[in-house]
Amino acid sequence: MNVWAALIRRDLAREWSSGSWWLPVAFFLLVATLYPFAVGPDSALLARTGAGVLWIAALLAALLPIERLFAPDSASGTLDQLALRGISDEGVAAAKALAHMVGFGVPLLLSTLPAAALLGLSGETLARLAIGLAIGIPGLASLSVTIAAVTLGQQRSGALGGLLMLPLAVPILIFGAGSIQPIGNSAMLFLGAASLLLVAITPFAAGAALRAAREV
């Protein structure tokens, strides 16, 4: 079997079997559940602000898997063994990013439905939110992979990852939240651009970080 297929399949199987897919989903739904308690059960207010809150929840949910993306592979020597075989760090990072987009993105996207129901979002808002998340999640997942590689080998990499990732995710949040508005089509395009940029630089940024972590 092709090396890349084997890598992606392994990463997907690990996302599934290690149960790391449900942690962001549970967090996302918990935020949707708790938000009405915090601002009160005013359905007009919830419908107006709920989609923005879900964008923030998605952003924060993307922080949760950071510690589990590369650290176990590094500790077990898997990254060394892949490098030994001449498999490029960029390729390893790209396979990880692709698997994470699916393993993190698809469950999160599906949980948008119950979350929207919890906040009483209108059908049109839900549609724009779901399309926006579908465009933005590959960027968020890629950013998680980059930050996981950059913080590899650091103590308390989870906290450090949060500090590094959130500022970099600001464009996704701004254009994602903007795309919820009925006149937000240009924001949707910018969201796509920001997401694509993150997807495109991830193999190189994360690959360079993996190489640097190995050659310490």
Partner 1 sequence: MIIKTVYAASIPFTPRPALGALRVSGALLVAQGLACKRGERLLWRGVDFSLEAGGVLHIIGANGIGKSSLLRIIAGLLPAMAGSVACDGGVALLDENPALDRDRTLKGALGFWGQVDGQSGVDAALDAVGMAALADVPMRYFSTGQRKRAALARLLVQNAPIWLLDEPSNGLDHSGVTMLEALIETHRAGGGCALIASHQPLTLADMQTLALSDYIGISSGLGSIHDPEIPENKVSA
User: What is the closest distance, in whole angstroms, from the C-beta atom of residue 41 to partner 1 in the complex?
Assistant: 42
User: What is the closest distance, in whole angstroms, from the C-beta atom of residue 67 to partner 1 in the complex?
Assistant: 16
Contact 168, 202 (CB under 8 A): no
Q: Compute the distance between CA of residue 168 and CA of residue 5 in angstroms, rounded to an integer.
A: 30
User: What is the closest distance, in whole angstroms, from the C-beta atom of residue 149 to partner 1 in the complex?
Assistant: 16
Contact 103, 9 (CB under 8 A): no
Radius of gyration for the alpha carbons in the chain, expressed in angstroms and rounded: 18
User: What is the closest distance, in whole angstroms, from the C-beta atom of residue 102 to partner 1 in the complex?
Assistant: 18
Smaller CB separation from partner 1, 15 or 129: 15
Smaller CB separation from partner 1, 10 or 48: 10
User: What is the closest distance, in whole angstroms, from the C-beta atom of residue 124 to partner 1 in the complex?
Assistant: 42
Smaller CB separation from partner 1, 23 or 87: 87
Contact 138, 108 (CB under 8 A): no
Smaller CB separation from partner 1, 85 or 156: 85
Upper half-sphere CA count for residue 125 (Cβ side, 13 Å):
20
Q: Compute the distance between CA of residue 187 and CA of residue 189 in angstroms, rounded to an integer.
A: 5
Smaller CB separation from partner 1, 183 or 216: 216
Q: List for the chain the helix, strand, coil content (%; round to 5).
A: 80, 0, 20
Q: Compute the distance between CA of residue 213 and CA of residue 93 in angstroms, rounded to an integer.
A: 13
Residue ranges that bind partner 1, judged by CB under 8 A: 1, 3, 5-7, 10, 13-14, 17-18, 72, 75-78, 80-87, 214-215
